[in-house]
Every structure is written in structure tokens, then in C-alpha cells.
Structure 1
Amino acid sequence: MKRYNLLIVLLLLIFNVTTAQKKGSPAADLSILKDTKSKIEATVPLVIQHLQTISTKEGDNNIVNNGKIAVGKQYGILESEWYLYRNNMKNCILNNSSKKAKKCMEYHNNMFRGTMINYNNYITNLTRKNGYLGVEGDTKFEFKPADIATKLGEAYLNAYEAAGRMKADQKRDFLGQTMSDDNKLTPYTQLAQ
């Protein structure tokens, strides 16, 4: 009888570990991080192109140079917040009980959402249609902070549930992937060329 109980326990353990780590399952899918990273990075060339159009029309390179500096500061704020957000969300899951973890994740998600909204407002106002300056249409971005924050929140909640079915080392490895260089924003100096 003991052998059958042991076999059942082993099968359940294997099932839990494989379902928690299965690639592409909603419980373990953190691909939204790479998607968010690419959407943030895609804003920089569009803003610089807009500034270049105005600069060419006005014949003044200071417009694009000063604009690059200003956008760089805003991007830098978002870049540091992106790092903090991913690290804080990882720590919320690893170091807290169920209720505290969810409150912690909600708090950090709202903070990052606010940072993204500030960045979006800045670049949207900077790239508005301005016929006087030779810009005939608004620049369109694939950057929607509310949608991104909602998807990030759902992904981390699913990751929290998946991590609950893992052992401590597996949990750390699983959540450690959020801090990988693949999810790190490209430095502004590389994007602004």
C-alpha cells in the first residue's frame, strides 16, 4: 500500500511542477515584459523623427538637440522605473504572504502605470500636430500605458499563482528571468542615434 501512495504523491508532484513551468501557459507567460520593452523603445525614434522634421523646417538644429536631451531625461526616468518595477514585483512574490503579495503587486503596478502615463503625456504633447512648424499630423505610438499596465498586472498575478506551486529554488529561477538583460531597456544613447 505504501508504494502506491508514494507513486501517487510523486505523480502529483511532477504534474504540479510541469504545469507551473509549462511554456506558453497563461500561468507562466511573462512574454509581456519583452513586448512592453519593445513598445517603450519604439517611442524614441518616432519622437526624434518628429523633432527632426521641425528642426529641418525651421533650419535650427538646436530644436532636435535640445529635444533629444529632454526626451532622454524622461526616458531615463522610465528606464529606472522599469528596472525598479520588475525587481519590486519579483520581491513582492518571493517575500510576502498571499494577501500582502497581491497588495504589494497592485501598489507597484499602479506606480509604474503612473510613470508610463507621465512619459506618454510628455511624448504625446511633444509630437502633436503643428501646422505652423511643418508637422501635418500627430505621431502615432503603439504605447498605451493603461493597457500595458493591465496586461503586466495580469501576467505577474499569473506568475504569482505559478510560483506558489514551485519550490523555493524553482521560484527564484522562474522569477529571476524577469530581471534578465532581455527585459532591460536599451540605453537612450543607443536609441537616439
Structure 2
Amino acid sequence: MKNLSKIIGSMFIAGLGFMMLVNVQPWMRLARELAAQIQYIPFLSSLVQIPFIGGWIAWIASNLSQFLGVILWGTIQAIETLPMLLEEQAIKQPQSWMTSLERYKGGAYIFEAIVCFMAFPPYKGGIDAIVSDFPNWDANLIDWWAMIYFTITMFGFEFCLRVALRVWEGMKRFNSVAANPGRP
């Protein structure tokens, strides 16, 4: 049974990792757009010349947009999932703090919806077509795959995290019962 629980746990971690990769894509796209606006990084040419750390600095500078995308994604996901994690773990917080967290969560979802809408416009032709066709949208021009990506990106990570936490709790209970068969 221990091997089965390890296999199930590994499968959920792999699924959560895959969902993280899917979920971070719009944020990477946003970060590439933001990084393209950076024309000059002060002292970069001097810093790259420093022995040993210069190579690391060059590597970080060349991957700046990826780091920025992951940081943006992580920040938004933390804001969105923190209230759920506190509830799941039964960690008591002051009501005013939880109310503020829920408000920030709503703002994070709005911001993520905008980013996902830009990355996966639900109408063929993108945002320009949505605006120009506004009074007479054509149902045949709805990009259903973009709608699916939008939905998965918006809610997939939190859903997978919630399922993983439930399975983890169930596995902990199962293992404690298996270790102590006489106790309920």
C-alpha cells in the first residue's frame, strides 16, 4: 500500500506540475511583452565581465522575461490560492484579514482574466474583431479552443491544487488507519 500511495502522490505532483506549465504560459507572454520594452540594462556589460558570476548575470539577463513571467504567475496564484489554503488547513485568521484576502483574490482573478483574454482571445481575429463585430458577433467565429485554454488557465491550477490537497489528506488518513488498525 505504501507504494500505491507513493505512485498516486507522484501522479498528482506530476499533474500539478503540468498544470503549472500550462498556467504560466499567458504570464510568460505578458513578460515577453514587458521585457521587450527594456531598451537598456545599466551596467550589464560591466557586470558580465566579472569572473565566475558574470556568466550567471548574462544568463539571468537573457532569461529575464521567463523569470518575470514566473514571478508574475506565482504572485497571482499565491493571492488566488492563499484563502483556500488557509481554509483547508483550518488556520484561523482575523475576519478582517480574510475579507482583505478575498478582495485581493477577486482583483487577482480580474487581472488574470485580462491577461488570459489577451493571450487567448475567444473570437477569431482577436480583440480587433471582437470590437469591430461588437453589435453583430458571429457565433461561428468563436474560438472554442481558446475558450478551453482560457478556462483551464483561469481555474485549472487552483482546481488541481484543491484536488491534490484532498487526496493528500485522504492518503494521510488512510496511512494513519493502516498504521493503527485498532483505532478509528
Q: Give the TM-score category using the shorter length.
A: 0.3 to 0.5
Provide the TM-score with structure 1 as the length reference: 0.38
When the two structures are superposed, what TM-score results if normalisation uses the length of structure 2? 0.40
Question: Per chain length, whose mean CA-contact separation is higher, i.e. which structure has more relative contact order (CA < 8 Å, sep 6+)?
Answer: 1
